[in-house]
Amino acid sequence: MYQAEQVASTQVRDRRYEDRRPEAPKSMLSETTDRQCRITLPPVPESAGLARDFTTSALRKWHLDPLISDAVLIASELVTNAIDHGTAHGDTEGPGLVELTWSYQISRLICVITDRATEPPVIAPPDTDAESGHGLQIVAALAAAWGWTMLGTGEKAVWAALHLPAH
């Protein structure tokens, strides 16, 4: 199993057994360890902007400024996809929420987006005239690797990994 897929599965499994009630989005970096931060987002278009701000804050905290541009774009695209294809629109509590987690690993930075959809992400065929549908193509072009995994009944994680800059 690829390291990012294992991280995604472990994160969700660990959270699944906690006593959690649906709640409003948490403040930036509210659930943070030295190497991991997570935010819960409602299924609204503005969440893509929150994901960009959250990602920028996390990477600055970790002094990973060279990765901010690519990481922000990856997070934005994956959160947008999760909202468009993995949630019930207008559901601001419970199963419609999307979660964004960044994990700072030894050799990689991993973005994990979880949603409550069972459909796998699909890269749309290239169409330069299309106004949308390029999100996963962008993620695939920027990430060292990306993929998805089912985490349980009605829950999926899509992940993307970036190589850390050489020091």
Q: State the pLDDT at residue 8.
A: 55
pLDDT in tens, 19-51: 443 333 444 444 556 899 999 999 998 999 999
pLDDT in tens, 55-93: 999 999 999 999 999 999 999 999 999 998 776 544 444
Q: State the pLDDT at residue 98.
A: 93
- pTM attached to this predicted model: 0.75
Q: State the pLDDT at residue 29.
A: 44
pLDDT in tens, 114-129: 998 888 787 767 666 6
- For 79, 103, 121, 126, 148, the CA distances from 108, given in Å and listed in that order, are 20, 8, 22, 28, 17
